[in-house]
Amino acid sequence: MSSALDRLLVSASHARPGLAIHTEIALREAHAGDESGLAPITPGAVIVARDADDVSAVLSLATRERVSVTPRAGATGKAGGAIPDADGIALVLTGLDRELEIDAGDRIAVAGAGVVLAKLREAARAQHLFYGPDPSSLESATIGGNVATNASGPSSLKHGSTARWVRGLEVVTGAGTHLAMPSRVSKSTVGLDLAQLLVGSEGMLGVVTRVFVRLEPAPERVALASVSLSSLESIGPALVAIDRAHVAPRAIELLDDEALSTLRAARTDHALDPRAVAILFVELEGSEHGVDDDLSRLDDALSPIAIDVRLARNETEREALWKIRRDTSVALKKSAKHKLSEDVVVPRSKVGALIATARRLGVEHGVRMPSYGHAGDGNLHVNFLWEDDAQRPDVDRAMAALFREVIALGGTISGEHGIGRAKAAYLPLAHDPARLAMQREVKRLFDPAGILNPGKVLG
């Protein structure tokens, strides 16, 4: 432990009596990694915050002592954003979970940053309300982490990512300053919207402690259609046909041929059409009669293109189809010794080109590269699967080539996972020097000592 960290821990224990400070190796190792697949790094100490004042005290002292701080809660991120520094602090925010208010009249939820997303959604549902973002990690991810990464999921096609739902925030900046930006109103044009600036900032600017999000009336009905396609080339025409059917899907998810092959090999294909080379899952919502009408129009539009359109008309059938989609990542992970998943985005019209590019790069570099994900908004999870540790340089070359190709297609290198530690070296592909310089100036304003999540995003 460095002398600076030692001084910080002593000062923090005096400033905040009862603050949970841990230096035992087992607990430090338990807070060393996330779900990115990157090598974990054991922090010098773990501090579990109870409230915003704890956060402020720790960040003020960290600024004074120049000790790095990595905020973390569910640690479900895929980009290494919650991996701490070896001589730094892992600041755990799961204890900020005691506040959860659902204001049905104003359709607002107010939650502590440590509230698990599934709990927020369930509380809203109990009031016949709906919170849109639905990342696959919702059972363990926290609302504060979702804000930090601007998390999204399948339903972001219709409902948008976290940023679209955030009304206000309470944040502690890198210097320890409380920044209160609460809001219960649906409109505001009073000055710069700093809350939106913080959404997606990946813990570089401040630590979110309290979140205000809008809610909507829950849909009367949700239904799902499974669309079996005979070729990868049919994906583009199928997406066009869905648009021309004049329906507004909540989600359009895709499994390509390699993802399907892996599911079948894993014996999780009981509901898959054996003829399908690719499958789309199209989810609709609305009134009872409106969903029936949309399903009928969807069936008519896709029948000339698809091998089969299977309509899940009740919750049991819908859940069986969604289970296939949820099983995909697990099946891919089990099928190889190593797996990395990148969440690149291209214009929706280029989804077919993205899949073809991934297939070509996989052949060129000797790496399996199956794709699945959110075809409706062009955000696909292109996976890298390999067996031999010695192949990692080939994987890195394939990844860099994929990012360059995605930029050339008019896309970008992350749609929902963020940059974190994993993609920091590739950020200049997506942002020009002037844009990067401006972001670094903003970082210095919020975090003058550079103690928040160093080495992530902006390097």
What's the CA gap between 294 and 284, in Å, rounded?
8
pLDDT for res 193 = 93
- Rounded to an integer, the average pLDDT of 87-110 is 97
pLDDT for res 95 = 96
**Given a cut of 90, is residue 321 above it in pLDDT?**
no
pLDDT for res 269 = 61
pLDDT for res 80 = 92
- Rounded to an integer, the average pLDDT of 362-370 is 95
Contact predicate 133/117, CB 8 Å: yes
Instruction: Tell me which residue of 195, 196, 83 sits closest to 457, measured CA to CA.
Output: 83
What's the CA gap between 95 and 47, in Å, rounded?
11
**Given a cut of 80, is residue 267 above it in pLDDT?**
no
DSSP labels, 150-200? T---TTHHHH--GGGTEEEEEEEETTS-EEEE---SS---SS--HHHHHTT
| Bigger pLDDT: 138 vs 18 | 18
**Given a cut of 90, is residue 317 above it in pLDDT?**
no
The pLDDT tens digits for 72-97 are 999 999 899 999 999 999 999 999 99
What's the CA gap between 209 and 54, in Å, rounded?
10
Is the overall model pTM greater than 0.85, yes or no? yes
The pLDDT tens digits for 12-34 are 999 999 999 999 999 999 999 99
pLDDT for res 186 = 83
- Rounded to an integer, the average pLDDT of 387-397 is 94
Mean pLDDT of the chain: 94
pLDDT for res 272 = 81
Q: Domains (ranges, CATH) in the chain?
A: 3-92 (3.30.43.10), 100-217 (3.30.465.10), 219-332 (3.30.70.2190), 336-424 (3.30.70.2740)
pLDDT for res 320 = 84
**Given a cut of 80, is residue 348 above it in pLDDT?**
yes
pLDDT for res 248 = 92
- Rounded to an integer, the average pLDDT of 366-382 is 94
**Given a cut of 80, is residue 1 above it in pLDDT?**
no
What's the CA gap between 376 and 160, in Å, rounded?
12
What's the CA gap between 132 and 346, in Å, rounded?
22
The secondary structure of residue 290, as a DSSP letter, is H
Residue 4 token pair? 């600076």
- What is the residue whose two structure tokens read 């905020």? 71
**Given a cut of 70, is residue 458 above it in pLDDT?**
yes
**Given a cut of 90, is residue 266 above it in pLDDT?**
no
pLDDT for res 311 = 85
**Given a cut of 90, is residue 268 above it in pLDDT?**
no
- Complete edge-to-edge strand list for the sheet that includes strand 379-386: 308-312, 221-229, 278-286, 251-255, 371-374, 379-386, 338-345
| Residues 82, 152, 383, 424, CA torsion sign | negative
pLDDT band of 312, cuts 50, 70, 90:
confident
What's the CA gap between 380 and 382, in Å, rounded?
6
The pLDDT tens digits for 233-260 are 999 999 999 999 999 999 999 999 999 9
**Given a cut of 90, is residue 286 above it in pLDDT?**
yes
